[in-house]
Structure 1
Amino acid sequence: MSAPETEPQVRLYVHPEGAEPVRADKAVSAFFAGEFSRSRLEESFKGGNVKISGEAIPKKRILEAGDVVEIVLPEIPPAEVKPVEIPVEILYEDEDVVVVNKPAGMTVHPGSGTGEDTLCHAMMHHCKSKLSMAGGAMRPGIVHRLDKETSGVMIMAKTDRAYYSLVKMFSERDMEKTYVALVCGVPSVRTGSIQKAIARHPDFRTKMCVCDDLSGRDAHTDWEMLESFGSDAALLKCRIFTGRTHPIRVHLSSIGFPILGDYTYNFQKNKMKKIEPPQRVMLHAYSLKMAHPVNPEKQIDVSAKPPSDFLNLIKVLRETANL
């Protein structure tokens, strides 16, 4: 499914009275700087779509004061995500939604610096391009995201009716999402609740941080310790109640238990002396429980076993716990 085609843009440039004569390409590039790229304007010249009095002009044409230049800009090709055959584990699927087990290391949707190896590319192939485009052609089916390094359960919309219903459900937190995390250190209690506001970090725009209630947005994470590994690490089950960026990672770091491999949020290699420190964030979206977004009488209740690197790390932590 492609995004709608866009009409060519037609713009006029008038060389001002009193201005010095200048080459046409330099004049229009300077005038439209920040609005159109040089390459797009170059295409207009090459295609004979830069004209004065209806006649095409070369880019070296010298403009005189009062010259009226008509520029027809080339169409921008419609942005779309092409289907790419990449295996992804399907946990649940019907005509409206599909629930997947996203692999660690896979980006959810295209963006700056990504290739054709995102979850969206994979799911466009699996669903034969039948994903909702309500969120934009470059984010087919996407209602929520997992970080690139985070693995686990993620639901996607195949129809627009499912998309809008899911947006409402996520906004109202009308579902139960459970994660498991391996953290550095061992809490002194078995359970805890973290209710601290989260905001964009003032100095590092790619990070989040806890802050006061006035400058941030409320965030709530509950956690339970499932297993401890000596005094070095612990396995926690976490549930989030608010939709924020990096809530579990930020909250656990804020109480002194950063997730193993989370170098963005204060994990330090020298804290783990008995094992080889992991190279990724050891966080896994374990389960999702919710009413079906289109058929509320139906329940979606799925879970995904953590990936092999996560399970192998647990095994190593158990083996080294008493060394």
Structure 2
Amino acid sequence: MTQTQLDPRPVAPEEAGARLDKWLAGQLPDLSRTRIKALIEDGQVVSAGATIADPSHRVKPGQIFSVGVPPDAPAEPEPQDIALDVVYEDADLIVINKPAGMVVHPAPGNPDATLVNALLAHCGDSLAGIGGVRRPGIVHRLDKDTSGLMVAAKTDIAHRSLSEQFAAHSLERAYRALVWGLPNPPKGEIEGNIGRNPHDRKKMAVVKGGGKPALTRYQVLKTFGGGAVSLVECRLATGRTHQIRVHMTSLGYPLVGDPAYGRSRAGRLKALPEPVRMALADFSRQALHAYLLGFDHPTKGSRIRFESSMPADLAGLISTLEAI
């Protein structure tokens, strides 16, 4: 694949003095400013036969630039043909329903069979490259054992737009969870900075000093067994690691099945019928599903919204609880 040559129009008189990277970003909307800055620093921008390697170079009236864009480098993770539940896909992005048990990114302990490996194989040449690398743009994550909706960008411009929406907290994300007990009050907000647990660095916790601000809005939808377990909807105003799991635990209502933050509820279980006790005790992951995702389409501008029904394991547990 050969290098692409882009030739923006000459600099207009009223644009004189603008930074080169900012000016080029206005002329080349398919490339992010970060990508343009990297191209400048890599010696890919030429004016009058001279290479301009300073992103802060001030442009002059009538100046003409030529920008070379090398082909996207192949992604380091290997594409793997793994079945995906694709909810929506177009040239800009893909929305998938992630199953519980799938890791999003390759990492030590999970080098392959991840969502990224699957997306590389599924999207193939339709990935236009993020920051010069042919890879899907992941803007938010779900824990390995959390199921539900995720969006990934297929182009630089889509990645920039979705990242900005995420930073501005304008992405709509709602989860449904089974928690131990009946939250009181049944509707409210949980605020508290989330950082590393000072007693266990593998966990997160609500911390008094440091951490990052986090806000979760919750509402009880249904309760079972006289308040032994509740179905709760949680909406994220921020996106911190393990946010819902940590916040609900801090309130005293940890998620059913959560191996890291859940606490024993033997006392509550005693009052429940044996099939229900067994179903709750045997549930092997945090009972959390990302059921709703909404955002502004990066290029079309329209608001799009997706919903996902409960996966079979959670739906089965809820059905068992409803039979009490």
Decide whether the 8 Å contact of 1:110 with 1:138 is kept in 2: no
**Cα displacement (A) at 1:82:** 2.1
Larger radius of gyration, structure 1 or 2? 1
Counterpart residue number, 1:134: 130
Counterpart residue number, 1:293: 298
Counterpart residue number, 2:102: 106
Distance change (3 Å), C-alpha of 1:186 and 1:302: same
Counterpart residue number, 1:152: 148
Counterpart residue number, 1:275: 278
**Residue type of the alignment partner of 2:223:** S
After TM superposition, list the pairs within 5 Å mapping 1:1-323 onto structure 2.
80-131=76-127, 133-134=129-130, 140-212=136-208, 214-230=209-225, 231-268=227-264, 270=266, 272-273=269-270, 274-276=277-279, 277=281, 278-296=283-301, 298-319=302-323, 321=324
How many aligned residue pairs are there?
Answer: 243
**Residue type of the alignment partner of 1:300:** I
- C-alpha distance after superposition, 1:172-217 (max 9, x if no partner): 11121000001011124331111111111113222111122x4222
Decide whether the 8 Å contact of 1:143 with 1:156 is kept in 2: yes
**Residue type of the alignment partner of 1:286:** Y
TM-score normalized by the length of structure 1: 0.70
Distance change (3 Å), C-alpha of 1:136 and 1:224: farther
Which secondary structure does the structure 2 equivalent of 1:263 belong to?
A: coil
Q: Which structure 1 residue ranges, 5 or more long, are not aligned?
A: 2-77
**Cα displacement (A) at 1:115:** 4.0
Which secondary structure does the structure 2 equivalent of 1:108 belong to?
A: coil
Which secondary structure does the structure 1 equivalent of 2:159 belong to?
A: helix
Q: Distance in 1 between matches of 2:186 and 2:174?
A: 17
Which secondary structure does the structure 1 equivalent of 2:162 belong to?
A: helix
Q: Distance in 2 between matches of 1:243 and 1:135?
A: 23
**Cα displacement (A) at 1:137:** 5.5
Distance change (3 Å), C-alpha of 1:125 and 1:215: same
Which secondary structure does the structure 1 equivalent of 2:305 belong to?
A: strand
Distance change (3 Å), C-alpha of 1:249 and 1:135: farther
**Residue type of the alignment partner of 1:275:** M
Decide whether the 8 Å contact of 1:179 with 1:283 is kept in 2: yes
Deviates more, 1:222-231 or 1:132-141: 132-141
Decide whether the 8 Å contact of 1:275 with 1:316 is kept in 2: no
**Cα displacement (A) at 1:282:** 0.7
Decide whether the 8 Å contact of 2:75 with 2:135 is kept in 1: no
TM-score normalized by the length of structure 2: 0.70
Distance change (3 Å), C-alpha of 1:138 and 1:245: farther
**Cα displacement (A) at 1:164:** 1.3
Which secondary structure does the structure 1 equivalent of 2:202 belong to?
A: coil
**Residue type of the alignment partner of 1:287:** L
Q: Distance in 1 between matches of 2:202 and 2:186?
A: 32
Identity score, percent:
44
**Cα displacement (A) at 1:132:** 5.7
Distance change (3 Å), C-alpha of 1:139 and 1:192: farther
Decide whether the 8 Å contact of 2:127 with 2:135 is kept in 1: no
Say what the alpha-carbon RMSD is for the aligned residues.
Answer: 2.2
Decide whether the 8 Å contact of 2:135 with 2:154 is kept in 1: no
**Cα displacement (A) at 1:79:** 6.0
Distance change (3 Å), C-alpha of 1:113 and 1:132: farther
